[in-house]
Amino acid sequence: MRVGVFDSGIGGLTVLKNLYMHYPNNEYVYFGDTLNLPYGNKTKEELEKLSTKDIEFLLDKKVDIIIVACGTVSSNCIEYLKSKYQIPIYDIISPTIKYLNNSNYNNIGIIATNKTIDSHIFKNNLNKSIYEIKTPDFVPIIENNRYSELDYTIDSYLKEYKDKIDLLVLGCTHYPIIKDNLNKYFNNKIELLDMSYPLLEKLTDDNISSIKIYYSKLNETIINNTKKILDIDNLSIEEKE
Ligand code: DGL
């Protein structure tokens, strides 16, 4: 099966990596819209336009299904995209909501982009105590390797919630990249949920293995970050023509 995966940048690679680790025998085509990053502060209309272009690019690559590896697009545009295309489209958030509703976690923090939090998708669909936390600076820190700012930023966003939650949802696909820093901050005492795990049940294995990565804008930093996150040999990384 040819699986198309997209995000605004390198964040969706955390989803791709997890899919590949569990189902290596598929043809994966990844698209990161680095030219238009970040998505987290855009309007719904802008997000609909950009995600349509992302999907059109993947359809040109003849994918059979699409994984929206972006929390911001998943929380704001999924109905729009599903009504527009016949091809199966899976969002990153609804498997997590299903998983949490069947879990025993009751005090749940959600960290995500402004636009995901403003959609209230978690609060509206979970019957639990939910703390919605906007964390817009994480994506620019991660995309631009500004890691000296990270610990301070984590503390400023999370100190208020530290003692209130028993699980923290990484509600943006960039955030598993900073999982170690978050675990350190919580002294490993709080469960961190990477949304790509509940998504895994949507896929199966096939019989051809390949990964092709495309970005709308490519530079050395993006190439190095891609190699570091995926840690897979002989990657094909190209700028979208
Ligand atoms: N990785 C994204 C998400 O899951 C996009 C973040 C952004 O571009 O602001 O929301």
- Using most ligand atoms within 8 A of CB, pick from 31, 76, 139 the residue to mutate for ligand 1: 139
Q: Is the pLDDT of residue 152 over 90?
A: yes
pTM confidence score: 0.97
Separation between Cα atoms, residue 68 and residue 7, nearest integer Å:
7
Res. 100 pLDDT band, cuts 50 70 90: very high
Separation between Cα atoms, residue 69 and residue 75, nearest integer Å:
11
Separation between Cα atoms, residue 198 and residue 102, nearest integer Å:
12
Q: What average pLDDT does range 94-116 have in this prediction?
A: 97
Helix (H) or strand (E) holding 226: helix 220-230
Confirm whether 70 is a catalytic residue: yes
Q: Is 7 in the pocket of ligand 1 (CB under 6 A)?
A: yes
Separation between Cα atoms, residue 142 and residue 206, nearest integer Å:
33
Q: Is 96 in the pocket of ligand 1 (CB under 6 A)?
A: no
Q: What is the pLDDT of residue 83?
A: 98
Q: Is the pLDDT of residue 203 over 90?
A: yes
Q: pLDDT > 70: what percent of the chain?
A: 100
Phi and psi at residue 110, in whole multiples of 5°? -120, 120
Q: What is the pLDDT of residues 155-200, one digit of tens each?
A: 999 999 999 999 999 999 999 999 999 999 999 999 999 999 999 9
Q: Is 94 in the pocket of ligand 1 (CB under 6 A)?
A: no
Atom number in ligand 1 closest to CA 171 = 4
Residue pair 138/160 in contact (Cβ under 8 Å)? The answer is: no
What spacing in Å lies between the alpha carbon of 195 and ligand 1's midpoint?
13
